[in-house]
Amino acid sequence: MTYPWHSVAFDAVLARAGRLPHALLLRGREGIGKLAFAEALARALLCENRRPGKRACGRCAGCTWMEQGSHPDFRRLEPEAHAEPGEAEEGSDRKPSSQISVDQVRSLTGFINVSSHRGGAKVVLIHPAETLNVNAANALLKNLEEPPPQTCFLLVAHRWHQLLPTIRSRCEQVVLTPPARDAARGWLAEQKLRDADLALAHAGGAPLLAQAFDEEFWRQREAFFSTITRPGFDALASAEQLRETPPRLVLGWLQKWAFDLVSHKVAGRVRYNPDYSDAIAATAQRLGLIGALRFQRQMVRLQRIVSHPLNARLFLEHLLIEYGALLRQDAGAQAA
Ligand SMILES: [Zn+2]
């Protein structure tokens, strides 16, 4: 199922089934339903009973296999860390990888070089495509350069700019957009989400992200904001308090906090953290714009390495030390 806000885009792609390029890059913000779009497209391409311009029938052999996750003409590449529990290697203490490895891409060789089992299309879904490591991306590139017949690659990415330019240029890009605010609120209300407005703001308008924030997330976020807004903020003491919090979350919060500080300075508005707008206003007042902008860019850059930091604790300390430096540096500059 695609989400209602993607129906028009989905039907437009479906109308071209049979004439689609061999690789599509579905890109757009995180948490808006790109994966559901790609899965629905894969099902439609593999349906054996589909009428032109229509979606998968849901009843034929192809649809049944897709439903059971066992279609012989379908492959899905994703990092081990994304796999369903139970699919990961049993009895291994190794941390599941957050990248798609070259071995996973090479394992496609047999699949794409033989003709399809059902005489129709073969589909490879790669998600999130930005987690292909360099070797994996280069191995995939060979397949995209010499596209095997009847094979359709569906790449899904929200950090699509991290993909090799050579991969991007060999895909037709389909940009998927988030729903309008009212549509997102309506949908979240149907899902019975508590505090939908705050969740949607914090998710930057991405409804699936908003829906995924659970009690634990809100509890950790509150603990985080209470430490960074404390008078006399101490980076190392904060790192100690937040030692159980995944660095990925801390970086995400700091990035949104920084965005709000800049936005408040420039436009008097807060986007992601409306529940902390007073604290943001007070902090923004102490800061210079240039320092806040520099800090925001730094947080964006660190997103590249947050999924594989060498040492999670050091990474966390680094983030908080940088935030402490921002507070001090600008306080000094303002006083001068
Ligand atoms: Zn079907």
Examine the domain organization and report whether 125 and 222 are in the same domain.
no
CA 291 to chain centre: 28
Contact predicate 81/97, CB 8 Å: yes
The residue segments making up the domain with residue 203 are 180-213
∠ Cα 309 315 320 (to 5°): 155
User: Can you tell me the distance from the alpha carbon of 264 to that of 285, in angstroms, rounded to the nearest whole number?
Assistant: 9
User: Tens place of pLDDT for every residue, the chain, 336 residues?
Assistant: 899 999 999 999 999 988 899 999 999 999 999 999 999 999 999 999 988 878 999 999 999 999 999 999 999 999 988 776 545 444 555 677 889 999 999 999 889 888 888 888 999 999 999 999 999 999 999 999 988 888 999 999 998 998 999 999 999 999 999 999 999 999 999 998 888 999 999 999 999 999 999 999 999 999 999 999 999 999 999 999 999 999 999 999 999 999 999 999 999 999 999 999 999 999 999 999 999 999 999 999 998 787 766 788 999 999 999 999 999 875 555 544
Q: What is the pLDDT of residue 92?
A: 53
Domain assignment present for residue 159? The answer is yes
Amino acid at 147: P
Examine the domain organization and report whether 321 and 220 are in the same domain.
yes
CA proximity to 62, closest of 39, 38, 45: 45
Tell how far the Cα of 329 is from the centroid of ligand 1, in angstroms.
Answer: 62
Instruction: Determine the straight-line distance between the first and last CA of the chain, rounded to whole angstroms.
Output: 59
Q: What is the pLDDT of residue 88?
A: 46
Q: What is the pLDDT of residue 336?
A: 45
Amino acid at 335: A
Tell how far the Cα of 66 is from the centroid of ligand 1, in angstroms.
Answer: 9
Scan for tokens 């037709």, then name that residue: 172
Tell how far the Cα of 58 is from the centroid of ligand 1, in angstroms.
Answer: 5
Examine the domain organization and report whether 70 and 134 are in the same domain.
yes
The torsion angles phi and psi of 103, rounded to 5 degrees, stand at -65, -40
Tell how far the Cα of 108 is from the centroid of ligand 1, in angstroms.
Answer: 24
CA proximity to 18, closest of 145, 162, 156, 120: 120
Q: What is the pLDDT of residue 312?
A: 86
Tell how far the Cα of 45 is from the centroid of ligand 1, in angstroms.
Answer: 9
Instruction: Give me the half-sphere count of Cα atoms (radius 13 Å) on the Cβ side of residue 169.
Output: 4
Examine the domain organization and report whether 15 and 153 are in the same domain.
yes
Domain assignment present for residue 88? The answer is no
pTM recorded for the entire structure: 0.84
Q: What is the pLDDT of residue 97?
A: 83
Scan for tokens 């991290």, then name that residue: 162
User: Can you tell me the distance from the alpha carbon of 137 to that of 164, in angstroms, rounded to the nearest whole number?
Assistant: 7
Tell how far the Cα of 55 is from the centroid of ligand 1, in angstroms.
Answer: 8
CATH no. for residue 38? 3.40.50.300
Examine the domain organization and report whether 242 and 321 are in the same domain.
yes
Tell how far the Cα of 224 is from the centroid of ligand 1, in angstroms.
Answer: 48
Tell how far the Cα of 154 is from the centroid of ligand 1, in angstroms.
Answer: 19
Examine the domain organization and report whether 144 and 79 are in the same domain.
yes
Q: What is the pLDDT of residue 157?
A: 97
CATH no. for residue 263? 1.20.272
CA proximity to 40, closest of 53, 27, 56, 51: 56
Last residue of one domain, picked from the residues 161, 196, 213: 213
Structural domain tally of the chain? 3
Q: Is 41 exposed, middle or buried (0-12, 13-18, 19+ CB in 10 A)?
A: buried
Tell how far the Cα of 81 is from the centroid of ligand 1, in angstroms.
Answer: 30
Q: What is the pLDDT of residue 330?
A: 57
CA proximity to 248, closest of 54, 98, 57: 98
Tell how far the Cα of 14 is from the centroid of ligand 1, in angstroms.
Answer: 14
